[in-house]
Amino acid sequence: MEERSGGSDASRPRGRRPGPSTTRESILEAARQRFALDGFRGATVRAIATDAGVDPALVIQSFGSKDKLFGAVLSISFETLSEIADAFSGPAEGIGERVARTYLTIWQNEPSDAEALRAMLRSAIDNNQANAQLREFIESRVTEDVDRSARDEDAAAVRISLAASMLVGVTIGREILSVSFLADERTDTIVAMLAPALQEVLAPASHRL
């Protein structure tokens, strides 16, 4: 008969774990400092790797990309960043509904990501350094999305930025100001109202004629 594990958890040493997670933490800490010092655009994976005392390949292996590393610094999960990117980069048909539902569902179902997004937004509005980091991150993401899909070249970056801004506004109304008409409403209702609006911005009917 096995002994029950009972109170033995309490005797485990707390604090930093040894091994791979220490490397991960060193990279995160170096990235946090580099992004703050050089901005999102200026901070290179090479400089972050040097500061952390590791090979640049290990940074990419651990975090996937500079975008994902920035997400990790902000405590936004890899999955959440990928879901948002995928919603924007899919086919034009249904893009409004897809983007609205993906974004609002994260706010509803992923409280830790929602908290990180809220903190990012507050500090970006309040603090010039965080503001520049977020601006450069958005510009870089938008440029990447435009390269991926590429129809309607000139205006596409403006349209993606406009849609992203509208979503940020909905978050401010619903989650930060908590305007009752938005905060008390079911996510499905907001998605249904928002989807045709985002569709008009991201894939306007006039372009489909």
H/E element holding 74?
none
Residue from 56, 135, 144, 187 touching a second copy (CB under 8 A): that is 135
Of 2-10, 82-90, 101-109, 184-192: span binding a second copy (CB under 8 A): 184-192
Q: Both tokens of residue 126?
A: 């309040």
Query: Considering CB under 8 A, how many residues would be counted as binding a second copy?
Result: 50
- Residues in region 12-51 near a second copy by CB under 8 A: none
The H-or-E segment that residue 103 falls in is helix 95-109
Alpha-carbon distance values, 87 to 83, 95, 118, 135 (Å):
6, 7, 20, 20
Closest approach, Cβ 97 to a second copy, in A, equals 12
* Complex with a second copy: residue 79 or 185, whichever CB lies closer: 185
Phi-psi region of 91 (alpha: psi -120 to 50; beta: other; left: phi over 0): beta
Interaction between residue 138 and a second copy (CB under 8 A): yes
Residues in the chain: 209
Distance of CA 155 to the CA centre of its chain: 23
Among 57, 188, 196, 207, binds a second copy (CB under 8 A): 196
Please report whether residue 84 would count as binding a second copy according to CB under 8 A: no
Task: Please tell me whether residue 116 binds a second copy under the rule CB under 8 A.
Answer: no
Rounded Cα distance, 164 and 158, in Å: 10
Pick the binder of a second copy from 52, 116, 164, 203 (CB under 8 A). Answer: 164
Q: Is 185 in the site for a second copy (CB under 8 A)?
A: yes
- The correct pick among 79, 126, 147, 151 for binding a second copy (CB under 8 A) is 126
Q: Taking Cα atoms as reference points, which of 195, 183, 13 lies closest to residue 87? A: 195
Binding site for a second copy (CB under 8 A): 121-122, 124-126, 131, 134-135, 138-139, 142, 155, 157-162, 164-174, 176-182, 185, 189-190, 193-194, 196-201, 204-206
